[in-house]
């Protein structure tokens, strides 16, 4: 995997920056356009970096004195023509992955943890869809509601805040979850009351045949197991950029359905079921946050240890012999410095 990076360097720091980037073997296609940037003013710098070197390069960029008005833009390159793909080290039948690019992972989580009005609207709509699924015993509608709900973005925002020991994102995410689920429960409760008073309650639901509701409001050991596994898969899918696995997380945790079942149970005066659904909701949200924070921390520790182990191996390895004609020192310098 390769990332294309764009940034603006202060003119007096560009030579130092290019020297830093040129010293990393994972950096290629380095382009410097002196004086072309306007907002902020400076030198435009672009380069590609392989994922194996991305963490070290981005750490150096974070410590580099760039202009505060500028930003480092990073774009994932889907494919590169004419470049040989670097093979990962193989361990028996398993080809080892490279470390997650933590700056991109964290930026992705922060950008998704935005609590605009659409966040609350989607939670309410998902609650209403789940309510219809519970009333009609339609598991398909309940699954659809799980996919619509955006609550996992807030959950991961809280988990990242705990991992980074930053209370502001934790408080913002927790308040957004509380307000969003409260709004979903209130609106769905009104919907349930309207259905009940209008006489449109499905016959099976009125007769107490509620298999979907019974599954939601009866948390047990398996509910905990699924929540833990979903939390693990959710973090791995974010760090490995596997969107398909993340969708599986959405439809495996009982958050939106539990909120909808709380509302319907209150509307139909099923107090015991409302209590069970509330416990299910709190259980799933809490476990997802805790497991998310622990998995982020655990992955950092694992990859840091692997990088420290791989460092001495690289230093002990012999440099590859050049197979082509050697170039002069002047020809190896970037053209903008000649």
Q: How far apart are the C-alpha atoms of 285 and 276, rounded to whole Å?
A: 14
- What does the DSSP 8-state code read for residue 204? H
Looking at residue 311, its pLDDT comes to 55
Looking at residue 331, its pLDDT comes to 41
Residue 101 C-alpha from the chain's centroid: 12
Alpha-carbon distances of 60 from 172, 173, 276, rounded to whole Å? 30, 30, 50
What's the whole-model pTM score? 0.75
- What does the DSSP 8-state code read for residue 113? -
Task: Give the three-state DSSP class for 34.
Answer: strand
Alpha-carbon distances of 164 from 53, 59, 177, 257, rounded to whole Å? 23, 16, 19, 30
Q: In the structure, how many helices (H) and strands (E) does the chain have?
A: 14, 6
Categorize the per-residue pLDDT at 287 as very low, low, confident or very high, splitting at 50, 70 and 90. very high
- The residues, ordered by sequence, that sit 6+ positions from 60 with a Cβ below 8 Å of its Cβ are 20
Q: How far apart are the C-alpha atoms of 229 and 234, rounded to whole Å?
A: 9
Residue 260 C-alpha from the chain's centroid: 25
Residue 309 C-alpha from the chain's centroid: 27
Q: How far apart are the C-alpha atoms of 217 and 227, rounded to whole Å?
A: 15
Q: CA angle at residue 278 from 275 to 284, to 5 degrees?
A: 140
Looking at residue 291, its pLDDT comes to 93
Looking at residue 320, its pLDDT comes to 45
At which residue do the structure tokens 């920056």 appear?
Answer: 17
Residue 338: pLDDT over 50: no
pLDDT digits (tens, 9 = 90+) for 201-254: 999 998 888 999 998 999 999 989 998 998 888 888 887 766 555 666 666 678
The string of DSSP letters for 44-79 reads EEEEEEEHHHHHHHHHHHHHS---TT---EEEEES-
Residue 155 C-alpha from the chain's centroid: 10
Looking at residue 26, its pLDDT comes to 84
Mean pLDDT of the chain: 82
Looking at residue 243, its pLDDT comes to 57
pLDDT digits (tens, 9 = 90+) for 76-134: 777 676 655 555 555 554 455 567 778 888 888 888 888 999 999 999 999 999 999 99
Report residue 90 as tokens.
Answer: 């193989």
Q: Which residues lie across from 8 on neighbouring strands?
A: 44
Categorize the per-residue pLDDT at 175 as very low, low, confident or very high, splitting at 50, 70 and 90. very high
Q: How far apart are the C-alpha atoms of 139 and 213, rounded to whole Å?
A: 10
pLDDT digits (tens, 9 = 90+) for 238-249: 877 665 556 666
């Amino acid at each position: 995997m390769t990332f294309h990076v764009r940034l603006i360097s202060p003119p007096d720091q560009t030579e130092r920056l290019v020297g830093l980037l040129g010293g990393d073997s994972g950096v290629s296609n380095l382009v410097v356009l002196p004086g072309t940037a306007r907002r902020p003013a400076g030198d435009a710098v672009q380069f590609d970096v392989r994922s194996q070197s991305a963490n070290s390069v981005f750490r150096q960029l974070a410590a580099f004195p760039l202009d505060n008005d500028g930003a480092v833009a990073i774009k994932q390159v889907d494919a590169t023509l004419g470049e040989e793909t670097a093979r990962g080290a193989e361990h028996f039948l398993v080809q080892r992955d490279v470390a997650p690019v933590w700056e991109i992972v964290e930026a992705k989580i922060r950008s998704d943890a935005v609590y605009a009005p659409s966040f609350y609207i989607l939670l309410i709509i998902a609650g209403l869809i789940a309510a219809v699924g519970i009333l009609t015993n339609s598991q398909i509608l309940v699954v659809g509601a799980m996919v619509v709900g955006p609550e996992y973005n807030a959950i991961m925002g809280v988990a990242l805040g705990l991992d980074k020991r930053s209370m502001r994102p934790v408080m913002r995410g927790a308040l957004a979850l509380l307000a969003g689920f409260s709004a979903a429960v209130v609106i769905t409760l009104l919907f349930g009351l309207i259905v009940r008073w209008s006489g449109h309650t499905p016959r099976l639901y009125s007769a107490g045949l509620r298999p979907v509701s019974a599954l939601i409001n009866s948390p047990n050991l398996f509910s905990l197991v699924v929540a833990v596994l979903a939390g693990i898969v959710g973090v791995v899918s974010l760090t490995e950029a596997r969107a398909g696995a993340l969708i599986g997380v959405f439809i495996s945790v009982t958050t939106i359905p539990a909120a909808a079942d709380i509302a319907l149970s209150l509307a139909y005066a099923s107090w015991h079921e409302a209590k069970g659904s509330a416990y299910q909701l709190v259980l799933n949200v809490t476990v997802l946050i805790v497991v998310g924070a622990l998995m982020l921390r655990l992955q950092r520790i694992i990859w840091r240890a692997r990088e420290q182990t791989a460092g001495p191996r690289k230093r002990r390895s012999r440099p590859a012999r050049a197979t082509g004609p050697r170039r002069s020192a002047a020809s190896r310098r970037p053209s903008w410095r000649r």
